Structure 1
Amino acid sequence: MSMPKTVRYSLVFVGLLIVLLLTAPFFIDVNTYKGQIEQKVEDVTGRKLTIGKISASLFPWVGVELDNVHLANRKGFSTHDFISVKKLHVKLALIPLLSKNVEIKHFEIVEPSVYLERHDDGQSNWGDLASSPATPAAASTTTSDVDTDSGAAGGMALAALQAESLSLTDGELTWVDGKAKPVALTELNVALNDVQLKRPVAVKVSGKLDGNAFDLDANVGPVGDLTKLDPVSLPVQGKLKAEQIRLQPFADMITGWPAELGDIAKAVVGVSANIEQRPGGLRLGEGSVTLDAAHKLDVNWKAEMSGKDELKLQRVALAVDDSPLLAVKGRINRLSGTPSFELHIDSQPIQRTWLTTFVPALNDMYAAHPAPWKQVSFNALVAGDARHVDIRDLQLLLDQDLLKVTGAVAFAGPDIRLRMNAQQLHLDPWLPQGKQQKAAASISLIPVALAAEPAIEPDLRFLKSWRVTTQMRVATLYLRGLQMGDFSVDINGNNGRFDMEPMSFNLAQGRVVEKASINVADYPASWKESVHITDVQAGPLLQSLAGMDMLSGTMAMDTQLRATGLTEAAVQTLNGRGNVLLRDGKLKGYDIAGAIRQFTSPGAAPGPKETDFAQLSGSFDIVNGVATNNDLFMASPLLRITGKGMVNLVQKVLDYHVEPRVVGTLKGQGDNVLRKGLVVPLHITGPFDAPKVRPEINAKTLIDNAPALLEKGNVGGALGGLLGGRKSAEPAGQGQPAAPAKQPETPAKQLLKGLGGMIPGF
């Protein structure tokens, strides 16, 4: 049966068409269009485009191949090409193309090179290629028609997009930022095989980042309808691995590199990450980043996103030198807007000796501390955003003491509001105690403390904008050997003024209430304080604060002080007043009654080295660092002591007059004479660390004390001799010369000798 003419003619037509498509490239020189293409690109971009060769084919596929394509760099930048490609080869299936379906058989880019530059002023070599906005006239044309037609055609083409292979081989990307060393991404290879819209597509990417290899293997898709593509829900599953990335090439871009991590040129980063994005929008990720430097830092994580605005942190852990340090979990919300967070942070115990490796200053801070703190850890629940942080629960474990903190911090200002509570808190281990500086020998009349280089006055004016509201409650606070019960303090700050009103606590069977304020709005800062003490035992207080065991009694004290400055030099501006009262106490180490007994009756047995008193009181006024007292008074069963004088806190010297007066009897222990009225005035002068005590003895002193000193014995005779009387010596024997009589000590010498027993070191 013969073939129908229609079929025969069709086959002949197809055959002629195939022959035409095969022979057309030999008769049509596509390179004749090269100049037009180059000129058109230069007109649009202002950059010169050169194409080495253009080749084309029409059957069995439509193919275009461009060799040695070069696009020049922007004027004012380096002579490197902005983009260059050794070969660009595209092959399209012919038959689907006739029905407007794009079916890529092969898309290949060989040795592409991109050179990106940015100057210090922010200008870049790609900034001029940004699309300019359409003119109003163009924008007002039949937009709806264009969108409808082109959108439909484009959608049809994209919907049918598929390819047997897409590849980029041996690519290179160079980044130059200002004067920093260039960073190069080399040996870049990208391969996509069997590209389909209805099946997952395998993607492989590999390369070297400045000589450091990395690999990415992933499956993307199925893509589905490209007109409805949502990248957030596009299925992706892949793995990124980069074992060693040296940071030296990026050194100029990294600011704030910690010195504790050593030389950045020797630092290496390793990355390993698994990423999964599911069609429902759920994204999972886990992996680790390792920084290998002077110390090794490891961060590993596992996170998921149920939507584009919420990130759940199932685990973020930090380890240092293979030792776990921190663990974080929680969530971050509103990623597309102003992010907020809610995090739980848990730390492992941090040893002070380990921490000094990263904070060397700790060695100096605690060099002379007999028992510094050992470790700290914390557990915190915090929430907030870029504007503030809410501390919902912070638990600090300071050695064995648990301090609980709640509150909020607003960064604008800032505004700090905290509440702190603890059952017990030992502060001594946390107070810095550095090496004591040995004072240099000095022959100057100025005290050594003032001759030393003065400390720098801190400038606290940056605190003027701070708002602070802080409350602290501790059942038992230990500080400098003191045990403070029911400790409470409130601190409020605003406009540069910080008030502590009040701080109160139980101490040594009594109560202390202190109010204070500091004004940091001006330089230097000024401050004032008032202290009210009731029924505090002075002995334990002095023992703890100064290591002194010389005074006991129940103490009451009130002071009001003010000064300008926070260094030792501020004592020059110290002003204020105060009073102190001690009852039913002892002055230890000073047996005033026994000294008088020894003085008046040398054979009397010594008593205990202490002096009881019923009352010891005085008040003082301070003007520019100089304190004066005119009403010192001590009452005991035997003595009344009064005194007045000056204490110069600036030069650390004193000038003080004391008058002890005997008001009772010295009967007993070898002395059976009443000594009422005996007065021995003393003058105490000199520096604090080496005062000199001298009796103020003159003729008036001796005359005033004569009634108390007159008795049978050498004191009365000596006093008589001093006043002009004479005692004749008895002959040693008949006719024999009398032995020379021993000259009695003068009353003045006897007073001095007696005072040696009254005042230790006199």
Structure 2
Amino acid sequence: MKRLIKWALVVLAALTLFVIAILVIVPFFVDLEKYRPVLEKSVSEAAGRPCKIEGELKLSLFPRAAISLTRLRLDAPPGFEDPEFVSIQSFQASIRLRPLLSKEVEVERFIVRGPKIKLVKSRDGRGNWEGLGAPKPKERPAGKKEGSPDIPDSLPIRALNVESLVISGGQVSLLDLASGAGHTVTDLGVTVDRFSLSRSNPVALSAKIDGLSLNLKGSFGPFAPEPLKGPLPFELDLVALGHLKMKIKGRLSELLPAPAFDLSFDLAPFSPRKLLTALGRSKPIPVRDPKALEHLAFRSRVHGTPDRIMLDQGGLELDESKLTFSGQLKPVPRPDLTFQLNLDRIDATRYLPPQGKSKPGEDRPGPSEGKKTDYAPLRQLVLNGDVHVGQLKIMDLVIEDAAVKITGRDGLIRIDPFKAALHGGQAAGRVLLDVTGDDPESRIELKASGIDVRPFVRMAMKKDVLEGTVQTELSVHARGDDPNRIKNSLNGQGGLLLNDGAIIGLDLAGMVRNAAASVGLAKKTGAKLRTDFSEFKLPFTIENGLVRTSNTTMASPLLRVKAAGWVSLPKEQINIRIEPTLVATLAGQGDRSDRTGIMVPLLVTGPFSSPKIQTVLAKDIEEKIDQAVSGAGNLKKEVQRNVAPDRLKKGAGDFLKKLPFGK
């Protein structure tokens, strides 16, 4: 028995030495060059691209199985100038053999040096990455349905441990040949030490994106007993450009076939101004407020599956403004987006371009080049959103408690209703955008009442011209997405009613009171020019961009004004006839004489940029003045006694030229 055991041990030792000898000696006698084409063919079939191993190929089996190679290249598909798609400078991997008997994989090292990936988009829109990993289809066994692959509940191994995983010197380049735009990632490095399925694993990543540094540190794991189904927790800290710091925390579950995820993002507050300085921007940000864009922060939670992505607990801080948001996206069978936005307040004036930087006409859009916008994505979109803004300030306008409902389906996008409070009044309306065809159509309906008109006029005219409380109703529609087409196709109607207001810079009462001064008989007063009115009514119609009004009226205790004419939006021309008529004395405004019937017709014509205001006919005006002053004996006698007839005619003309309308 002892001898049997002895011989058994001797045989076992001999077999062990024989196996070790084979593992050590075999690699020296095996010609790996014979297997180079086999390896290249296997990689080519798996990637669907030609593969070439141009450098050395080494194999060792003791004390561990190891393989190394240099200069591996994967080609781009035909039709691209650069034939290289992926290349690796060197690759090394070693694995312990004994644990394999227990279905445990222990990798000592997995090292990739100098990987390069070149992503190129051709001028016709093709990418050199398209078709990657698409081998020839194989016949599917009978009874096997397409789209239902076999997914194991667990890995075919008991454990996986990697002592060291290193990727160094990586490069990724992206080039769009059509636009010429490109980006480059250099110095890419990834390190994972002592990886295991059963514990949390530290990971570090570093790179430079277009020369700007990016660093990421974190951990992931442990994996569940069924790694392909169980949850995978992870936590990452991202540091970029020395100013951006973001924490990403979450978990992945059901990795196959339909992964589920639950992620939270928290971007620490930073200064966009300082960030742009770090990016090498020497010029200041072109906004009106030099103290704007000093604070930005972001947070959000994203969870769901690829078929249903939900977003909640969202928050964005921009300077003193705070935005909260939530939403849901169902990408299939068509994009279905639901969202809610709530902004507390924002002063948009701070972010407008600086005053005086643009020249007249500089920012006007150029002529259309005939390239049409593709509205197919909007036709596919299903939209349902709510927006609320506590306070929005734009220059002199202050809009409060604005609520907007946005819906869309099959190319019909509606904003209905829109409600807001502004400057003592209320406004409500609705908008319809129809993109069911290639040429979009839009409709706008608006009603407003009790609104102070001064801020609107001040913003448009850059000065105070009009006061009053406005009530308006508007219904217009247009076609096209080019500004010129919209103006040429604009049609609709509306009305404007102003109550208890005033025209600033025009004093009709003073003009009549100082008629003598206008012809050189007295001095004008230096009082602020102003014409009060009790009602100003402006009805209008719009036909193909031509705005017409035939019965515009203004009423005050002193006078009545009628106006009629048109305004061409496409040509930016105006042609309006104004007929003011005195209806009472100037009592209370510095005069007690009866001056009813005085009428000074005016024409306002010319381009928007420089309209011309002039009298209708000089002779007609002289007759009107003679008729008007015939009942005012004192003024007429004074004029006849002190002014020669030829000078009177000349003075009347000068008087009309000096009217504020003509200045």
Report the CA distance between 1:656 and its aligned residue. 0.9
How far does the alpha carbon of each residue in 1:258-310 deviate from its partner, in whole angstroms, 9 at most, with x for none? 9999655xx112222124436xxx34211101013501111212121233123
Q: Which residue of 1 aligns with 2:340?
A: 419
Q: 1:246 to 1:417 in 2, by over 3 A?
A: closer
How far does the alpha carbon of each residue in 1:340-397 deviate from its partner, in whole angstroms, 9 at most, with x for none? 1111111122433356579999989x63644554432211112111122111221111
Contact 2:288 2:349 in 1 (8 A): no
Report the CA distance between 1:679 and its aligned residue. 0.7
Where does structure 2 lack aligned partners over 5 or more consecutive residues?
A: 53-60, 77-82, 117-153
Contact 1:637 1:664 in 2 (8 A): yes
Q: 1:687 to 1:323 in 2, by over 3 A?
A: closer
Task: Identify the match of residue 37 of structure 2 among 53, 57, 82.
Answer: 82
How far does the alpha carbon of each residue in 1:571-600 deviate from its partner, in whole angstroms, 9 at most, with x for none? 011111110011111111101110111114
Taking the TM superposition and a 5 Å limit, the aligned residue runs for 1:15-30 are none
Contact 1:118 1:177 in 2 (8 A): no
Q: Which residue of 1 aligns with 2:656?
A: 755
Aligned CA RMSD, in angstroms, stands at 4.4
Task: Identify the match of residue 118 of structure 1 among 40, 44, 66.
Answer: 44
Counterpart CA distance in 1 for 2:19 and 2:296 is: 76
Counterpart CA distance in 1 for 2:559 and 2:239 is: 71
Contact 2:289 2:351 in 1 (8 A): no
Q: Which residue of 2 aligns with 1:579?
A: 495
Contact 1:520 1:526 in 2 (8 A): yes
Contact 1:593 1:611 in 2 (8 A): yes
Q: Which residue of 2 aligns with 1:346?
A: 266
Q: 1:355 to 1:196 in 2, by over 3 A?
A: closer
Counterpart CA distance in 2 for 1:189 and 1:666 is: 103
Q: Which residue of 2 aligns with 1:485?
A: 400
Counterpart CA distance in 2 for 1:59 and 1:314 is: 43
Q: 1:540 to 1:742 in 2, by over 3 A?
A: closer
Task: Identify the match of residue 502 of structure 1 among 405, 417, 436.
Answer: 417
Q: Which residue of 2 aligns with 1:180?
A: 84
Contact 1:595 1:754 in 2 (8 A): no
Task: Identify the match of residue 31 of structure 2 among 59, 69, 73.
Answer: 69
Q: 1:440 to 1:587 in 2, by over 3 A?
A: closer
> What letter matches 2:64 in structure 1?
L
Counterpart CA distance in 2 for 1:626 and 1:483 is: 30
Q: Which residue of 2 aligns with 1:603?
A: 522
Counterpart CA distance in 2 for 1:622 and 1:362 is: 48
Counterpart CA distance in 1 for 2:104 and 2:376 is: 62
Matched, 1:515 2:436: no
Counterpart CA distance in 1 for 2:538 and 2:213 is: 64
- 229-238 vs 627-636, which moves further: 229-238
TM-score norm. by structure 2 comes to: 0.77
Return the index of the structure with the highest Cα Rg: 1
How far does the alpha carbon of each residue in 1:431-475 deviate from its partner, in whole angstroms, 9 at most, with x for none? 67899653589xxxxxx979x645876443431111111101223
Taking the TM superposition and a 5 Å limit, the aligned residue runs for 1:630-649 are 630-649=550-569
Taking the TM superposition and a 5 Å limit, the aligned residue runs for 1:162-201 are 165-168=63-66, 171-172=69-70, 174-178=72-76, 179-180=83-84, 183-184=87-88, 186=90, 188=92, 190=94, 192=96
Taking the TM superposition and a 5 Å limit, the aligned residue runs for 1:233-632 are 233-234=158-159, 236=161, 238-242=163-167, 244-247=168-171, 251=173, 263-264=184-185, 267-277=186-196, 282-293=198-209, 294-304=211-221, 305-307=223-225, 308=227, 309-354=229-274, 356=276, 367=286, 369-370=288-289, 373-412=293-332, 413-430=334-351, 438-439=359-360, 453-454=367-368, 458-569=373-484, 570-600=486-516, 602-603=521-522, 606=525, 607-632=527-552
Report the CA distance between 1:327 and its aligned residue. 1.1
Contact 2:618 2:653 in 1 (8 A): no
> What letter matches 2:553 in structure 1?
F
Q: Which residue of 2 aligns with 1:146?
A: none
How far does the alpha carbon of each residue in 1:495-521 deviate from its partner, in whole angstroms, 9 at most, with x for none? 111111111111111001121111122
TM-score norm. by structure 1 comes to: 0.68
Residue 476 of structure 1: SS of its match in structure 2?
A: strand
Residue 200 of structure 2: SS of its match in structure 1?
A: strand
Q: 1:556 to 1:439 in 2, by over 3 A?
A: closer
Q: Which residue of 1 aligns with 2:609?
A: 689
Q: 1:436 to 1:498 in 2, by over 3 A?
A: farther
Residue correspondences, number: 592
Report the CA distance between 1:319 and its aligned residue. 1.0
Counterpart CA distance in 2 for 1:561 and 1:360 is: 48
Report the CA distance between 1:524 and its aligned residue. 2.8
Counterpart CA distance in 1 for 2:624 and 2:22 is: 134
